[in-house]
Structure 1
Amino acid sequence: MTKAERALETRERILTAACEVIADIGFENVSMRKVAEHAGVSKALLHYHFDTREKLFAEAMTHSFAQTGTDTEGVPDSVPSSVVLARILRSMLPTDSELRQDWKLWQELWVRAQRDTAARHLAVDLYDQLHAWVGGAVERGIRSGEFADCDVTALGTLVLALCDGLGIRLMLDDPRVDLAAARSTIWRAIAPTLGIAPEFPDV
């Protein structure tokens, strides 16, 4: 392994550890020492890669987002656009333990964004990427004739709003909303616009 590869591996290990610690105890309770211990590196090495908690938090959010996101580029044409969109929706809800951790980080970001300009810009940038993922799947379906022509931006805004609202209910373990109900609610809301069946695809 080259020096550059070792540095990249260390950086990835630190970011993974930061995601886990922030999700577990919240950003306000996180210290660089705790992250270093969890990552199995020295505090000096951690500071070499990330000189402040704020930079570490921003990088950790971006890292977590990239790991759980679903891109629409490079998907084989044989995969229906409805399946691609359903996969994106799956990644945008707290579907499993990894995505629940991602959601905890999002919740931390929402809180910080209320009083920190850098965090607010980061949140907006990440939402732009979510819009691009949803919009890419919808545009793909429109081009193939699978979806009806529609206002892609408006539909993306609706999808993100529904995912946020229902995702919070799922994170709260609200007994009135389970994962199947959340998916079904979102799909039924967008199906008429897309001109597709209201049943959530089997993905």
Structure 2
Amino acid sequence: MSLENYGEDMSPGKRDIMEATHSAVKKHGYGDLTIQDIADEFDRSKSLLYYHYDGRDDLLVDFLEYILGGFLANLPEEGTAPREELNDLIDLLLPTTVDEEPYRLMLAMFELRMNAPHDQAVREQYLEVEEELRTILEGILRRGIKANEFIDVDVQVEAEALLSLLVGTRARRLTVYDPDQSIETLKAAIDAHIDRISTAST
């Protein structure tokens, strides 16, 4: 995921901290990450980290917001054919293979997600992302029905089903597959589900 030009509305010091954290997470992952790892990627004084944050976990809540905001900013824009737009969204969420560093970042975000039942701030951020994805999926389905690319389905129910498929498959990708291991069969299963609501398949 590219974060180029994202976060320009942040103060320079805060954005530098986020970029340093981004680099550190890609190198070290979430579990072993320390403030010192972040400081090693930071051009300014380590004391500035503690000026803004009480510790690693406090910093990572802000980092999660930064990464999820960047993710939302990079979602495919409306304009292509609905089925193609849906395929683009699936490819963004579920790349067939992943290099090691992006995989570490994806895994760190997944590990942070596991904190959501115990951290309201984390939970709220993931709820916001899921609501945005649900809205996007509903829009794709509505446009697809209007364009006769999808059969007439209950848009809200189908969007919820697709969201659960995407989130669940991403979790499987991060827990039982190696970064360079293809998840083509998992994506084929999602495609088969979409084929069942596609007019081209009826």
With the shorter chain as reference, the TM-score category is: 0.7 to 0.9
User: CA, structure 1 residues 152+21, in 2 after alignment: closer, same or farther (shift >3 Å)?
Assistant: farther
User: CA, structure 1 residues 116+45, in 2 after alignment: closer, same or farther (shift >3 Å)?
Assistant: same
Task: Report matched runs for 1:109-128 at 5 Å.
Answer: 109-128=112-131
Contact 2:141 2:150 in 1 (8 A): yes
Match of 1:163 in 2: 166
Structure 2 unmatched ranges of 5 or more? 1-7
Match of 1:201 in 2: none
Alpha-carbon distance in structure 2 between the residues aligned to 1:30 and 1:178: 27
Match of 2:35 in 1: 32
Match of 1:16 in 2: 19
Alpha-carbon distance in structure 2 between the residues aligned to 1:26 and 1:72: 27
Aligned residues with identical type, % of pairs: 23
Work out which of the residue numbers 140, 146, 156 in structure 1 matches 2:143.
140
Displacement of 1:119 after TM fit?
A: 1.9
Is 2:191 the partner of 1:187?
yes
User: CA, structure 1 residues 60+71, in 2 after alignment: closer, same or farther (shift >3 Å)?
Assistant: same
Letter in 2 for 1:87: D
Letter in 2 for 1:152: V
Alpha-carbon distance in structure 1 between the residues aligned to 2:192 and 2:144: 17
Query: Which segment drifts farther, 83-92 or 164-173?
Result: 164-173
Match of 1:83 in 2: 84
Alpha-carbon distance in structure 1 between the residues aligned to 2:154 and 2:139: 13
Match of 1:45 in 2: 48
Cα-to-partner distance string for 1:144-175 (whole Å, 9 max, x where unaligned): 3322222222222222222233323333327x
User: CA, structure 1 residues 61+46, in 2 after alignment: closer, same or farther (shift >3 Å)?
Assistant: same
Cα-to-partner distance string for 1:106-163 (whole Å, 9 max, x where unaligned): 3212221132222222222222222223223222322333222222222222222222
Match of 2:3 in 1: none
- How many residue pairs get aligned? The number is 189
Match of 1:149 in 2: 152
Letter in 1 for 2:197: T
Alpha-carbon distance in structure 2 between the residues aligned to 1:57 and 1:123: 14
Letter in 1 for 2:120: T
Alpha-carbon distance in structure 1 between the residues aligned to 2:199 and 2:50: 52
Cα-to-partner distance string for 1:23-72 (whole Å, 9 max, x where unaligned): 54454543333213213222233345555544432232232233344535
The normalised TM-score by structure 1 is: 0.73
Displacement of 1:182 after TM fit?
A: 1.8
Displacement of 1:185 after TM fit?
A: 0.7
Contact 1:94 1:167 in 2 (8 A): no
Contact 1:148 1:195 in 2 (8 A): yes
Displacement of 1:93 after TM fit?
A: 1.4
Is 2:108 the partner of 1:105?
yes
Higher relative contact order (CA 8 A, sep 6+): 2
The normalised TM-score by structure 2 is: 0.74
Structure 1 unmatched ranges of 5 or more? 199-203
User: CA, structure 1 residues 137+51, in 2 after alignment: closer, same or farther (shift >3 Å)?
Assistant: farther
Alpha-carbon distance in structure 1 between the residues aligned to 2:143 and 2:104: 30
Match of 2:67 in 1: 64
